[in-house]
Chain A
Amino acid sequence: MRENYILGIIPENWRLEITRHPRVRAIFKSRWMPLSLLILNLFMFTVILMAGFFGGLSAGNYNFGIMIVWIVWWVVLMMVLVPFLSRFWCTMCPLPLFGEWLQRLKIFGVRPGHKMFGLNKRWPRSLSNMWLMNVLFLATTFTTGFITTRPVATFILMALIILTAIVLSMIYRQRAFCLYVCPVSGFQGLYANFATVEVRVKDPDICAKHKTKGCVVGNEQGFGCPWMLLPYKLTRNTYCGMCFECLKTCEYDNMAINIRAPGADLLVDQKRGLDESWKAFLMLGVAMMFFLVMQGPWGVLKDWANGKTLAGWLSFVAMHAGFNFAVLPAIFLGFTWAGHRLARAPGISLKKSFINYSYSMVPLGLAAWIAFSFGILLPNGSYVLHILSDPFSWGWDLFGTAHFPWTPVLTATMPYLQIASLLIGLLFSLDFTLKLGRQTYGKGETAVWASLPVMGFLTLATIVILWLFIG
Chain B
Amino acid sequence: MACRIRAGSRGLYHSSFRGALLREPGIHNPSAGDGLPGLSPCQQKARHALPWRDKRYRAARAPDQRDARFCQAIWRGQTGLVRNLRRRNDGHRPRKRTEEMAVLVLEGPVSRKSTGTGALKLHYNSSLYNGTKLIMLRSFDAAVCPVDSVSSQVYNTIVKYLGPHGPDALLAFVIFAGVLGAIVGGLDPYLATGFGIAIYGLYIFRRWGAERHAERMAETEIAKTELELQRYRESQLLKIERAKVKALSPPHAGKGDKK
- Bind each other: no
Binding site for B on A (CB under 8 A): none
Binding site for A on B (CB under 8 A): none
